[in-house]
Amino acid sequence: AGLVDKITKRRLTKLKHKTPMAKVIPNDTLSTGPRSQAPSPANGKVVDSTSVDPLTAVAQELDKLHIFRPVTTISYNLSFNQVRFEEQIHGEGTIASNGAIVVDTGIYTGRSPHDKYFVKREPSAEIIDWGPVNQPTTSEVFDELYEEVVRHLSKWRGRIFVFDGYIGARKSSSRRVRVISESAYHHHFCLNMLLTIDKVEGRGRAPTSPGDWNPEMTVIVSPSYLNKDFKRMQLHSETFILGDLERGIMLIGGTSYSGEIKKVQVAMGSVIHPSMTNLPTS
């Protein structure tokens, strides 16, 4: 990421007035422990999620994944203007002459095919095309890396971005997805590549709260986490794209390349609903 020029700063000032939700949260407001608002029974009854404000509901959803974040450090389903503001104030990219955001993804300017693994177990083991790209790993390796990633994100001294939407335009095969990331840039990618809740019709009742979303696929993206124990885990490198298809969870670590988000969701979707991969051949 480079320095924002004077023109960009003027644009940023305008965006700041248009996007009051997007603001810098000082590091000293962060904590790494669970909040008192964590979901719990009240008087023997289940708490009504519709009575909880959206960001608190998102924080409670993250709690379930063992990602413990203060509400003030979470951004949820941002607009294009809001996500552009976040990208710029956090120095994630620069603005090109055509107005597009330009991001330096580091050493990975494309996919890292030798770092993709799936937990090998039934029923997905029968339909995965195993080989040098789709490599097998164990549930023990997945669980260990999962705990490391969510612990890392709980301590992450920045914002957490949560996107809820759909993959797949066809009503019969589209699926609810949730993408959790540590950068606005990846949230921006989701806005471009996936379908937002408000833009989709005929998918059933719109959720009244993020707690009602019940994603069929969850992707957790942490480019800043490097797996130093990859050799012991018999993986290829510090970078990993690791999936447990039966649980509907994918982990992406050590790479900022956003295309991995799309690829892993297509992989999960093909297991959850095989017709998602019925693409035309001519």
Residue 67 pLDDT exceeds 60:
yes
Lowest mean pLDDT among 42-56, 138-152, 153-167, 203-217: 42-56
Of 42-46, 149-153, 274-278, the one with minimum mean pLDDT is 42-46
Q: Find where tokens 């644009």 sit.
A: 11
Which of 161, 152, 195 minimizes the C-alpha distance to 180? 161
Question: What is the distance between the alpha carbons of residues 9 and 14, in angstroms, rounded to a whole number?
Answer: 9
* Bridge partner residues of 240 (DSSP): 253
Q: What is the distance between the alpha carbons of residues 236 and 86, in angstroms, rounded to a whole number?
A: 33
How far apart are alpha carbons 116 and 24 in whole angstroms? Answer: 34
Return d(Cα 107, Cα 85) in angstroms, integer.
Answer: 25
Q: Which SS3 state, helix, strand or coil, does residue 57 take? A: helix
Q: Could you tell me the CA-to-CA distances from 144 to 76, 140, 149 in Å, in that order?
A: 27, 6, 9
Confidence of residue 138 (pLDDT cuts 50, 70, 90): very high
Handedness of CA 182, 92, 241, 229 (dihedral sign): negative
Tokens found for residue 123: 């029923």
pLDDT at 271 (0 to 100)? 64
Among 209, 191, 165, 162, which residue's Cα sits nearest to residue 65?
162
Q: Which two tokens stand for residue 245?
A: 């298809």
Average pLDDT of span 104-127: 85
Structure tokens at 15: 């965006």
The proportion of the chain whose per-residue pLDDT surpasses 70, expressed as a percent, equals: 72
pLDDT digit string (tens) for 246-281? 999 999 999 988 888 887 777 766 665 554 445 433
What is the pTM assigned to this prediction? 0.77
